[in-house]
Amino acid sequence: MTGAELTLQILQQHGVDSVFGYPGGAIMPLYDAIYDSPIKHFLCRHEQGAAFAAVGYARASKRVGVCLATSGPGATNLITGLADAMSDSVPVVAITGQVPTVAMGSDAFQEVDIIGLSLAVTKHCVQVMNVEDIPAAIEEAISIALSGRMGPVLIDIPKDIQVAETQVRGSGPINSSAPTAVDSYHNLAIEQAKTLIRQAKKPILYVGGGVGMANAVSELRDFCQFTKIPSVSTLKGLGTVAADDEYYLGMLGMHGTKAANYAVQKCDLLIAVGARFDDRVTGKLKEFASNAKVIHFDIDQAEVNKRRLVDVALLGDLKVNLPATAVTSDIAPWQQYCQRMITDFAWQYDHPGEKIFAPSLLNKLSQLMPDNTVVTTDVGQHQMWTAQHMAFAQPENFLSSGGQGAMGFGLPAAIGAQISRPNDTVIAVSGDGSFMMNVQELATLKRFGIPVKIVLIDNARLGMVRQWQQLFFEERYSETDLSDNPDFVMLAQAFDIKAQVITTKQQVDAALKEMLAHDGPYLLQVRIDELDNVWPLVPPNAANEAMIESVK
Amino acid sequence: MQQHNLTITARHQPVVLERLLQVTRYRGFNVVGMTMFPVSELDQLTIELSVVSDKSVDNLKNQLLKIIDIEQIKVEDQALQKFMA
């Protein structure tokens, strides 16, 4: 068996049935082995698309996502996807071809030091220098990607190692480890946390993406139901708290709800669960929940005290730690205050004129789509509107590039999500700027008949940058006018993708229904006013209660 | 600016030194001294690293402990075992 065949066999033994990639010189032996392998390979049309597809696959299915690329430019094109996976803690294994070992270090054709390049964007990386090391390298990569705080791992395999013959075989799938034992220090922290919760008069649960990744959504929902502590969510945490929870205040931060931001700023105890005090969440850090004590639940010790000093840290498995700290407290006035804000500051969808109001359309889409729908986004105004106005049944149903804010994420991530969940509806909400960044992946939809629905919110602008130019750069609209966009309907049709454009409110219902009922891929272009902005907005270096809601 | 001396035990892997230095720089610390020697019978490295920064050395230690090939870090006389998740 060759190193290439062995590589695929080990992946298969670990449950990998689909990979995303792009062939090239130094990875050709692996692609030759793919020709006979039961593993399905999905050809993306750019390695960045393959990396984002692997991220979408991993996030939607909670399994490891695998992407392949050749050496040199193939490998460097993976970097943005790996950075996204690193920031958002996504278990991805990237396998790159490398020039033959005899040529390494000689500036060979398509040689790049991908190990050096990947250091800052991977949890771990390894170069396989002997064919016998392949099983251990892949098994370790998958295990590292999926354990603790998850993340991307890169394996670089020189061409001659892929070709080499070996008798070595894999040791089979690894058993997942049992939950960590609770030590006495940990018990002390649990008691301290319970005391803080009992004493709090105005507690807030600040829910991040870590809850879904720890498979602790039901424990979190039980905690909410038992303690009745009002909750807020980060972008990556959306879908974790049940959407109909009577004390759920919505997303917090730069484009959070008024209710969420006001409540967090007033709280006396902030319970962070799988969240990392990101600057888009906190606004001006010194003034973020400045009167609150903090309990921080996390799997990553390095997140504790990184941005905010905490009173109690609870490291480890949320499935153990959340139930262990669930105690009730006397917070009825606070609950009533929060509920009043939920009502008083509810989203308003009345909007003058004929033009389509994107928040209203997205809210309608949220009502019409099946419960198990996966929604991906790109980055910008449409992303924030989606986060604000759509509801998700589970966190793995909402995939957005959080930490990196990588434009071009939405379409390839939707492809990966659809491959991992073939029976669920997958919708990519995009903007006309982001869409063009990985538009070549329309060819991937066509090639495999992947039925992703694309909702293209089109303001013929780089809308979020335009909004900031309007608010903070004296309306100097530098390089944000995209009114020379291509004809998106014609573009989709060039890839055999059904498409239509809508421009008025009256068209919205029928268009959304037609899109959802369509069997294959579909592109719905939604023309909106270029002056529409995302509100509320916390200006840069301001505290979260200083939200603005209109252009002054 | 405060100087901190770290004694690091790591697996003897080719990439570990680069990762150590990359994380140290990215997290805002300047290296002012470094000695490295292999512990051959254990396939380990011992690295003595002196850094300066106005940032928290605890935070650096926690970030460095996330490097897969780093097994243990002692900051001066204060020992901390790697947190096993």
CA distance B18 to chain A (A): 8
Across A281-381, where does the E strand assignment appear? 293-298, 312-315, 374-377
* pLDDT score of B85: 39
Q: Residue B83 pLDDT more than 50?
A: no
pTM of structure: 0.96
Nearest to A137 by CA among A124, A148, A149: A124
CATH 3.40.50.970 residue spans of chain A: 3-163, 358-541
Query: Searching chain A, which residue's CA lies closest to the CA of residue B55?
Result: A306
Is B65's CB within 8 Å of A301's CB? yes
Is B85's CB within 8 Å of A125's CB? no
- Between 3.30.930.10, 3.40.50.1220, 3.50.50.100, 3.40.50.12280, what CATH number should domain A184-344 receive? 3.40.50.1220
Is B68's CB within 8 Å of A119's CB? no
Q: What are phi and psi of A454, to 5 degrees?
A: -110, 125
pLDDT by residue for chain A (552 residues), tens only, comes to 999 999 999 999 999 999 999 999 999 999 999 999 999 999 999 999 999 999 999 999 999 999 999 999 999 999 999 999 999 999 999 999 999 999 999 999 999 999 999 999 999 999 999 999 999 999 999 999 999 999 999 999 999 999 999 999 887 776 555 445 555 668 999 999 999 999 999 999 999 999 999 999 999 999 999 999 999 999 999 999 998 999 999 999 999 999 999 999 999 999 999 999 999 999 999 999 999 999 999 999 999 999 999 999 999 999 999 999 999 999 999 999 999 999 999 999 999 999 999 999 999 999 999 999 999 999 999 999 999 999 999 999 999 999 999 999 999 999 999 999 999 999 999 999 999 999 999 999 999 999 999 999 999 999 999 999 999 999 999 999 999 999 999 999 999 999 999 999 999 999 999 999 999 999 999 999 999 999 999 999 999 999 999 997
Q: Return the residue matching tokens 């205040």.
A: A249
Structure tokens belonging to residue A287 = 């003034």
Is A123's CB within 8 Å of B22's CB? no
- Which residues of A are identified as catalytic? 47, 109-110, 159, 464
Query: Searching chain A, which residue's CA lies closest to the CA of residue B70?
Result: A124
* pLDDT score of B78: 43
Fold classification of A358-541 (topology level): Rossmann fold (3.40.50)
Query: Searching chain B, which residue's CA lies closest to the CA of residue A302?
Result: B62
Is A180's CB within 8 Å of B68's CB? no
Interface of A with B in 128-147 (CB under 8 A): 144, 147
Partner residue facing B85 (CB), from A126, A148, A306? A148
Q: Is A115 on the interface with B (CB under 8 A)?
A: yes
Fold classification of B2-81 (topology level): Alpha-Beta Plaits (3.30.70)
Is B85's CB within 8 Å of A304's CB? no
Q: Collect all residues of chain A within an 8 Å Cβ-Cβ radius of residue B58.
A: 305
Can you tell me the distance from the alpha carbon of A155 to that of A370, in angstroms, rounded to the nearest whole number? Answer: 38
* pLDDT score of A176: 54
CATH 3.40.50.1220 residue spans of chain A: 184-344
Q: What are phi and psi of A501, to 5 degrees?
A: -115, 140
Q: How many CB pairs under 8 A join A and B?
A: 41
Q: What is the CA radius of gyration of chain B?
A: 12
Q: Are A527 and A502 in contact (CB under 8 A)?
A: yes
Nearest to A85 by CA among A66, A112, A99, A101: A66
Nearest to A200 by CA among A291, A134, A66: A291
Which residue type sits at B15?
A: V
Class of domain A3-163: alpha beta
Structure tokens belonging to residue B49 = 């690293």
* pLDDT score of B68: 96
Can you tell me the distance from the alpha carbon of A66 to that of A21, in angstroms, rounded to the nearest whole number? Answer: 8
Q: Collect all residues of chain A within an 8 Å Cβ-Cβ radius of residue B21.
A: none
Q: Which of B11, B12, B13, B15 to mutate to test the interface with A (most CBs of A within 10 A)?
A: B15
Show me where the domains of chain B are located: 2-81
Can you tell me the distance from the alpha carbon of A227 to that of A229, in angstroms, rounded to the nearest whole number? Answer: 5
Is B83's CB within 8 Å of A315's CB? yes
Is B15's CB within 8 Å of A305's CB? no
Which residue type sits at A409?
A: F
Can you tell me the distance from the alpha carbon of A142 to that of A149, in angstroms, rounded to the nearest whole number? Answer: 13
**Sheet bearing A18-21, strands edge to edge:** A40-43, A18-21, A65-69, A92-98, A153-158, A124-127
Report pLDDT digits (tens) over B14-62.
899 999 999 999 999 999 999 999 998 889 999 999 999 999 999 999 9
Which ipTM was obtained for this model?
A: 0.93
Bin A485: left if φ > 0, else alpha if -120 < ψ < 50, else beta: beta
Q: Which residues of A41-73 are buried (b: 16+ CB within 10 A; e: fewer)?
A: bbebbbbbbbbbbbbbbbbbbebbbbbbbbbbe
Can you tell me the distance from the alpha carbon of A228 to that of A327, in angstroms, rounded to the nearest whole number? Answer: 10
Partner residue facing B59 (CB), from A115, A148, A302? A302
Can you tell me the distance from the alpha carbon of A83 to that of A154, in angstroms, rounded to the nearest whole number? Answer: 12
Partner residue facing B15 (CB), from A125, A300, A306? A125
